[in-house]
Amino acid sequence: MLFMDFSRCCERLEGTSGRLDMIDIIAQELPGLTDEELPVFVRFIMGRIFADWSSRKLGIGPNLLFEAIGAVAGVPKERVVGKINSTGDVGQAVEELLSVKSQMTFFHEELDLVRVYTSLIGIAEMEGKKSQREKLLAVRRLLGNAHPLEGRYLARIMLEELRIGVGEGSVREAVAKAFRVDSALVEHAQQALNDMGEVARLAKIGPDALRDVQITPFHPVRMMLAQQGSISDMIEEHGEIAAEFKYDGSRFQFHKKGNWARLYSRRLEDVTGALPDVIQQLLAATDHDVILDGEVIAIKDGKPMPFQSVLRRFRRRHDVAEAQEAIAMVPNVFDILWLDGETLIDLPLLERRLRLEAVVTQYVAPQVRGDDPEVITKTYEDALAAGHEGIMIKVPSSPYSPGQRGKNWIKIKPEVDTLDLAVIGAEWGEGKRAHVFGSFLVACQDAGKLVPLSRVATGFSEEQLAEVYELLKDSVLKTSGKEVTFEPSLVFEVGYAELQASSNYEGGFALRFPRFIRLRDDKDISDIETIGSVRERYKRQANTAQAYQK
């Protein structure tokens, strides 16, 4: 397929608003494509270059692209940027700039869809010191051969933003229609493969190829997700259910074949380099080839750390060894998707669980099964007492549904902790909030004295800020710069993630992630929390952290 034909197809899609019409346009193109063209076309039409499982990047920033466009169009980069700002779209800007230029040139080497793809792969593979220069030259070569319309879509593809309104759902329907296969089969294959290009190739072979689809190690699978729900509803609906602790860390997917292992994050990024300790632990836990799903939590001085510490480790690129010493990571494995060459996602959870227990000797998250609400509630209480977030309830007969937030996994966790606190000061807002107070100083009480505990600046709607301003504006005692002090009259219910010991506030504590929940105009200043109760909560928090170590 010529890249020009692909571009014309994009142009038609861009001018079409009905979803069914779009599906028709795509479905008409697919059967005529070669095996090589089909996956490329399908990914490109969704604005993607690489398979969804791939963490490969083109490595072309907007700056480099604008410079290349300028060089090809024979204008300074600033003009390119100006054009993009005035059109609001890189594609259109490139098309306009190239059409001025193309009136002056006579020769074009015709661009071919697969060759464009191969060039982009080549660009992605350029690494090292000189790579930016090499990438620039390669992009210039590609754009230099592009007709204005091709330039429009090529530039957008290079930024992986095609903007023609084609989503995965439409492509799925188009593939089903083009090759006369059930769209549920296409969806099923896409769940396992995470690459619509490859799925289209299988659909062309036939329904059996889609049905027999196999997960490939080192092609990460989208994570199955959870909904909110209740213990009683789940038992009523399913009878026996499976409950596991809900660990407050970061999701991981571990792939291992022989001695080769990689770890992927929830967003399917390869985080192997940042977490060698987790890889080592999991390698030691099994001799089999596996893909495991789990949650890694952080432990410091024997205590579970807030999940931010885990995230920090996931992002770590340098000084990994030092970070390992300070914070120990512990994986908790709760599912298995692939074992020694066999794809397991369609098996019921109970059977996957049996395999998991048979082949992984450590770090498997305990599971409690039963249909007695008391037993499950006890598990929930145990989870909280051990410092975890709550529990996950899973339907024992359910398959593993990659990327789905369905009803087969339900999360149960407590409401955020809240404190009722007096508003004793504020700071004027900024920008569109300049006429109201934007952040508030809140306090608890200590034997009749008010003790500042935190600043609260999030959780407010514009209406709430206006309302609070009306309620407080006549209580201003003192103004200094942007700061005001109030005669205390108003009580806020404030949510928070954690109490921290802190010397920043007089009372010796601070709130992590304080958030306005609501106005407690039913409460008086004398009803607010005391420093004693705050201390109690802090102790309880520390105890649960300690209980966790055992």
Residues noted as catalytic: 246
471 binds ligand AMP (CB under 6 A): no
Whole-number Å distance between alpha carbons of 47 and 167: 9
Measured between alpha carbons, how far is 97 from 105 in angstroms, rounded to an integer? Answer: 13
Q: Which of 67, 150, 244, 529 binds ligand AMP (CB under 6 A)?
A: 244
Least separation in angstroms between CB 243 and ligand AMP: 9
DSSP 47: T
Min CB(16)–ligand AMP separation in Å: 36
Stretch that binds ligand AMP, among 3-11, 120-128, 244-252, 503-511 (CB under 6 A): 244-252
| Interaction of residue 226 with ligand AMP, rule CB under 6 A | yes
67 in contact with ligand AMP (CB under 6 A): no
List the strands of the sheet with 367-370, edge to edge.
Answer: 225-228, 405-412, 390-394, 241-246, 367-370
Residue in 189, 216, 221, 184 with CA at minimum distance from that of residue 205: 189
* Cβ closest to ligand AMP, residue 289 vs residue 295: 295
Let me know: does 234 contact 392? Beta carbons within 8 Å: no
Q: Give the HSE-up count for residue 454: Cα atoms under 13 Å, Cβ half-sphere.
A: 29
Question: What is the pattern of x (binds ligand AMP, CB under 6 A) and - over residues 292-311?
Answer: ---x----------------
- Closest distance between ligand AMP and the C-beta of residue 167, in Å? 23
For residues 542 and 535, what is the distance between their CA atoms, to the nearest angstrom? Answer: 11
**Count of CA atoms in the C-beta half-sphere (13 A) of 356:** 26
Report the residue number, 98 or 349, with the smaller CB distance to ligand AMP.
349
- The single residue among 64, 81, 323, 365 that binds ligand AMP, judged by CB under 6 A, is 365
Does 410 bind ligand AMP (CB under 6 A)? Our answer is no
- x/- mask, ligand AMP, residues 274-293, rule CB under 6 A, reads --------------------
From the list 138-146, 173-181, 242-250, 283-291, the region that binds ligand AMP by CB under 6 A is 242-250
CB of 183 to ligand AMP, least distance (A): 27
Sign of CA dihedral 336, 339, 345, 347: negative
Q: Which is nearer to ligand AMP, 156 or 255 (CB)?
A: 255
Look up tokens 């001695």; give the residue: 259
Report which secondary-structure segment, H or E, holds 444: strand 437-446
Q: 117 or 338: whose CB is closer to ligand AMP?
A: 338
Q: What is the DSSP letter of 117?
A: H
The reply on whether position 111 binds ligand AMP by CB under 6 A is no
Question: Is the CB of 255 or the CB of 520 nearer to ligand AMP?
Answer: 255
Q: Which tokens in the block code for residue 126? A: 């350029």
Question: How many chain residues bind ligand AMP (CB under 6 A)?
Answer: 12
Task: From residue 387, give the alpha-carbon distance in Å to each of 278, 443, 463, 512.
Answer: 21, 27, 37, 17
Beta-carbon contacts of residue 342 (< 8 Å; ≥ 6 apart): none
Distance between CA 256 and CA 146 in Å, rounded?
43
- Least spacing, CB of residue 390 vs ligand AMP, in Å: 9
Strands 405-412 and 225-228: what pairing?
A: parallel
Are the C-beta atoms of residues 423 and 488 closer than 8 Å to each other?
A: yes
Span of 222-230, 337-345, 379-387, 480-488 interacting with ligand AMP by CB under 6 A: 222-230
Closest CA to 245 of 382, 450, 400: 382
**Quick one: tokens of 25?**
């346009």
Residue 247, interface with ligand AMP (CB under 6 A)?
yes
Query: Candidates 123-131, 201-209, 240-248, 476-484 — which segment interacts with ligand AMP by CB under 6 A?
Result: 240-248
Candidates 243-251, 429-437, 450-458, 525-533 — which segment interacts with ligand AMP by CB under 6 A? 243-251
User: Could you tell me which stretch among 36-44, 94-102, 218-226, 280-288 binds ligand AMP (CB under 6 A)?
Assistant: 218-226
Q: Using an 8 Å Cβ cutoff, are 517 and 418 in contact?
A: yes
Q: CA torsion angle for 202, 204, 206, 212 (degrees, to 10)? A: 0
CB 335, min distance to ligand AMP, A: 7
In angstroms, what is the minimal distance from the CB of 247 to ligand AMP?
4
Question: Which secondary-structure segment (H or E) carries 500?
Answer: strand 498-501
- Counting contacts by CB under 6 A, is residue 19 touching ligand AMP? no
Q: How long a stretch of residues is the chain?
A: 550
Residue among 223 and 450 whose Cβ is closer to ligand AMP: 223
Cβ of residue 217: shortest distance to ligand AMP, in angstroms?
21
Q: Count of CB atoms within 10 A of residue 459's CB?
A: 16
Shortest Å distance, C-beta 388 to ligand AMP: 8
DSSP-based three-state secondary structure for 235? helix
Cβ nearer to ligand AMP, comparing 388 with 520: 388
Binding mask 379-408 for ligand AMP (x = CB under 6 A): -------------x----------------
Site for ligand AMP, rule CB under 6 A: 223, 225-226, 244, 246-247, 251, 295, 334, 365, 392, 411
